[in-house]
Amino acid sequence: MPRSMHGSSRYGFGSKIMSEHTSLWPLVIADARPDSTLALAIRQAAGGLAQMIGQPVAASVPRLFALSVGDMADYAGDPEAEMVGIYLLLGDDLSGQAILTLPLADALLLSDALLGERSGTTHDLGDVERSALCEVGNLMIASFLNEVALISEAPLRPSPPAVMADMLGAILEVLASAAPLQEKLLIIESELAIGEGPLRLRFWVLPEHAQL
């Protein structure tokens, strides 16, 4: 779980944020510099995964965009593609959702890496494999929130992760159902490349509009 950040914040305005119950999201997404909190948080998430699997993980510069619920599937890819999603709800002063998605074949290869198996060993996602993937979601989101928590004096704790193995369209419906009153979803996206092979993950964070 993310560490609790008590005492003075690195940015010097944590107490003000908490006392006024102001969302952290505007501060997180307002700055697009390479050394911004958002970019650092994405890199921390990638670093957490790299430590977990013992391979380098490169993260693309995060981008922000808005999509209508109806356009999500067209943007994300073939809605009938077999995918795996590792899903968490964010809470406290950073409400929203986070999801890691990757093709089923890549999820099986990632499971091999996580469990120390030879590549190609895993052919389906059983309880052990799903648990390992849940730990990926836990660690990456914890690493992301740890960086964001440096501008707050409160811990940021996500929900327990859930692993979904389904068609991409069905996985995206989970995101849409969590924000039924929003015409458009604001999405923070980064793509992660694992090692020198073909493994790719898509990392989405969706802030809650009411906090922006």
**What whole-number distance in Å separates Cα of residue 181 and Cα of residue 103?**
29
Q: Which two tokens stand for residue 87?
A: 């899903």
Token pair of 72 as six digits:
């999500």
Report the CATH number at residue 64.
3.40.1550.10
Q: What is the mean pLDDT of residues 70-92?
A: 87
DSSP at 161: P
Q: Number of helices and strands (H, E) in the chain?
A: 7, 7
pLDDT of residue 148: 80
Residue 1 is predicted with a pLDDT of 38
Proportion of the chain above pLDDT 90, given as a percent:
35
Q: Compute the C-alpha angle 109/114/118, nearest 5°.
A: 55
- Is a pLDDT exceeding 80 seen at residue 199? yes
On the question of pLDDT at 165 being above 80, the answer is yes
Digit-coded pLDDT (tens) for 28-58 = 777 656 678 888 889 999 999 999 888 899 9
Other C-beta atoms closer than 10 Å to the C-beta of 137 total 22
Rounded mean pLDDT of 66-71? 84
In a domain, 4, yes or no: no
Average pLDDT estimate for 131-160 = 84
Q: Quick one: pLDDT at residue 207?
A: 86
Q: Which domain holds residue 143?
A: 20-211
Q: Quick: pLDDT tens for 94-132.
A: 788 899 999 999 999 999 999 999 989 999 999 999 999
In DSSP notation, 181-195 reads T-SEEEEEEEEEEET
Q: Is 14 among the domain residues?
A: no
Confidence of residue 87 (pLDDT cuts 50, 70, 90): very high
What integer is the mean pLDDT of 16-27?
Answer: 56
Establish if 6 belongs to a structural domain.
Answer: no
> Is residue 161 in some structural domain?
yes
The pTM (predicted TM-score) of the whole model is 0.80
Residue 64 inside a domain? The answer is yes
Q: Where does residue 77 fall: left (phi above 0), alpha (psi -120 to 50 degrees), or beta otherwise?
A: left
pLDDT at 71: 85
Domain count, the chain: 1
Helix residue spans in the chain (DSSP H) = 14-19, 25-29, 37-53, 72-76, 104-115, 127-148, 168-177
For the chain, what percentages of helix, strand and coil (3-state, to nearest 5) are there? 40, 25, 35
Average pLDDT of the chain is 81
In a domain, 11, yes or no: no
* Residue-wise pLDDT tens digits, 169-178: 999 888 888 7
> Does pLDDT of 162 surpass 70?
yes
What pLDDT score does 96 carry? Answer: 86
Within a domain: 192: yes
Q: Does residue 7 lie within any of the structural domains?
A: no
Higher per-residue confidence, 69 vs 18: 69
Predicted pLDDT of residue 32? 59
Coil, helix or strand at residue 9? coil
Give residue 203's pLDDT.
92
pLDDT at residue 135 is higher than 80: yes
